[in-house]
Amino acid sequence: MRAKFVLSEALTGLWRNVTMSVAMILTTAISLTLLGAGGLLYVQIQETKDVLRGKVEVMLFLNDDASEQQRQTLKQRLENDHQLVRDVSFESKEQAYERFKELFRNSPDFVHGVQPDALPASFRVKLLDPKDYSDLANKYRSADGVSRVSSQQEVVSQLFSMIDAVKNTTFAVAVLQGIAALLLIGNTIQVAAYSRRREVSIMKLVGASNWYVRLPFILEASMAGLIGAAIGWLGLILGKVFLVDGALKPIFSSGLIPVIQWGDILVTGPILAFIAIAISGITGWSTLRFYVKV
C-alpha cells in the first residue's frame, strides 16, 4: 500500500469540501480546548485540595467565661481523640490578639479599634483526615465551654465548589461541542464517500481490501482531528498567556489557587492530539461501515 497515494487522497478529500472541513476542524478545536481547559482545572483542583487540606485547621472557640477546668477537660478529650485528631494547640486571648495585630499590621486604625480581650481563646485542631471536619464539629460543638466551631475548610470548600462548577460547565460544553464535532465528522465522511463513490465502487470491483478503500477517508477524518487538536492546544496556550497570566492574574496571585503551569499545558497537547485522532478515526470508520458496504 502506497503511503503517498493514500495521503494525497486524504488531503484532496479535505480540500474538496473545504467549508465543511473548516467547520469540522473549528468545532473539534473548540471542543478540545474546552476539554483541555476542564482537564487542567480538574488537575488544579486536586492539587489545591491536597495542599490546602494538610494546612487547614479547625478552630474551637471558647466562651469568655469558660473555666480553667473546662479548658483542661476539653484539651484532654481532644488529645485522646485518636480517631479524628492529629494535633492540638491552644491559643490564648493574648496570642489571638498578637496574631490579629500581625495579620492586620497594615491597617493600624482597624487594630486600634479592637480591644485586646475581644478575641476569643481557641483550640486549634489539625485533623487526621481533613474530610472529617463535620464529625469533629458535631462532636465538640456542644461541649462545655465551647462557643463555636469554625474552619477555614468552609471558606475553602466554597471556593472549590465554585471552581468545580466552572469545571463541570466546561466539560458539559466540551461534550456538546464534541457531539457536534462527531456529527460534522460523520457528515464530512459521508460527503467524501459520496463524491468518490465511483472510485470506491471500482476499487471494490477490482478487489481492493476494505482497509485500502477506507483508509483515505479515515485519514481524512484523523487529519482534521489532528488540525483541530493543534488549534485547540493553541487556544489553551493563548488562554494561559492572556487569562491565567493576564486578566485573571489577581485571583492566582492571592496564592490560594496554584497557577496553571506551562508544563501541564505542554502535556495536554499530545493528549488532545491522541483523543482527537482516535475519536475522529473511529467515527470515520464507523460511518464508512454504513456507507461503504462491501
Partner 1 sequence: MITLESVSKRYPKSRRPALDDVSVGVDKGEFVFFIGPSGSGKSTFIRLLLREEVPTSGKVTVAGRDLGTLRSWRIPQLRRSIGCVFQDFRLLPNKTSAENVAFALEVIGKTRPVIRRVVPEVLSLVGLEGKENRYPSELSGGEQQRVAIARAFVNRPLVLLADEPTGNLDPDTSIEIMRLLDRINRTGTTVVMATHDANIVNQMRRRVVELDRGRVIRDQHRGVYG
Minimal CA–CA distance to 55: which of 232, 255, 289? 255
CB of 206 to partner 1, least distance (A): 4
- Which residue, 53 or 204, has its beta carbon nearer to partner 1? 204
- Which residue, 104 or 211, has its beta carbon nearer to partner 1? 211
CB of 210 to partner 1, least distance (A): 7
| Distance in angstroms (rounded) separating the CA atoms of residues 109 and 203 | 87
- Which residue, 200 or 224, has its beta carbon nearer to partner 1? 200
Strands 85-91 and 58-62: unpaired
| Distance in angstroms (rounded) separating the CA atoms of residues 29 and 172 | 15
CB of 214 to partner 1, least distance (A): 12
- Which residue, 32 or 292, has its beta carbon nearer to partner 1? 292
The answer to whether residues 122 and 58 touch, using CB atoms and an 8 Å cutoff, is: no
| Distance in angstroms (rounded) separating the CA atoms of residues 12 and 19 | 13
Q: Which residues contact 157 (CB under 8 A, 6 or more apart)?
A: none
| Distance in angstroms (rounded) separating the CA atoms of residues 41 and 102 | 34
Residues in contact with partner 1 by CB under 8 A are 1-2, 5, 198-199, 201-210, 212-213, 294
CB of 185 to partner 1, least distance (A): 24
CB of 198 to partner 1, least distance (A): 6
Integer-rounded Cα Rg, in Å, for the chain is 30
Minimal CA–CA distance to 32: which of 247, 274, 241, 220? 274
Residue position matching grid coordinates 484532654: 76
Minimal CA–CA distance to 6: which of 196, 191, 181, 184? 196
CB of 218 to partner 1, least distance (A): 16
